[in-house]
Structures are given as structure tokens and as C-alpha cells.
Amino acid sequence: SQQGEEDPQALSIQEGENATMNCSYKTSINNLQWYRQNSGRGLVHLILIRSNEREKHSGRLRVTLDTSKKSSSLLITASRAADTASYFCAGSNAGKSTFGDGTTLTVKP
């Protein structure tokens, strides 16, 4: 079964708005990662947050991790049309990563 569930499944916003995606996971993890996938292409790593971290920033990305609730969120600020893609969380343990089903983000110009 999948490690994580992502919410919402689909999100549509206007350019310039912020986008927030949530991920819940089931088992213990060493870290949690977020990936981006443009339609039908390979996934690209965005950011990794370790289990002992609560928040991490990278450019317009902000990730939080709550291990007590087994949940994470990805915030993309000041979104652009080029941010349109699917976003996946992946919980990692013992060198293996298990992916959620993803959130499809559409940013309208």
C-alpha cells in the first residue's frame, strides 16, 4: 500500500497566489521528501526534511513536518504558471522511499 496520502488531489489557483499541499504517512521515516513531476516525465527532487526537523525553506518552497501527526505540508509562495505540475511526497526509511498519490497543481496565468 502507498505510504502517504496527499490532500488535495487537485488544486487550481491564480498566478501569484500561494499553494499548499498536505501529505500524511503511515510508518516511521528518517526523512520526508517532495518531488515534482511535469506531465508524464521523470520526477525531480525539490526538498528533503529530516525527521528531527520541523520546518525547512528553499527559495519559494516551505516544508513542514509533524512527526507526531505523521504529516507534512508543502507551501509554494507567489506561484507561477511554470509551477503547474504534480507534486509527490515520499517518506524514506532504510534507503527506500515510498510515495504518496500526489497533488496536481494548476496555476492559471
Partner 1 sequence: DADVTQTPRNRITKTGKRIMLECSQTKGHDRMYWYRQDPGLGLRLIYYSFDVKDINKGEISDGYSVSRQAQAKFSLSLESAIPNQTALYFCATSDARTGSHEKLFFGSGTQLSVL
Applying CB under 8 A, among 40, 52, 68, 109 the residue interacting with partner 1 is 40
Q: What is the CA radius of gyration of the chain?
A: 13
The answer to whether 18 touches 84, Cβ cutoff 8 Å, is no
The answer to whether 18 touches 77, Cβ cutoff 8 Å, is yes
Q: Is 105 in the site for partner 1 (CB under 8 A)?
A: no
Shortest gap between Cβ of 76 and partner 1 (angstroms)? 19
Residues lying near partner 1 in the complex (CB under 8 A): 2, 4, 30-31, 33, 35, 40-45, 48, 88, 90, 92, 95-102
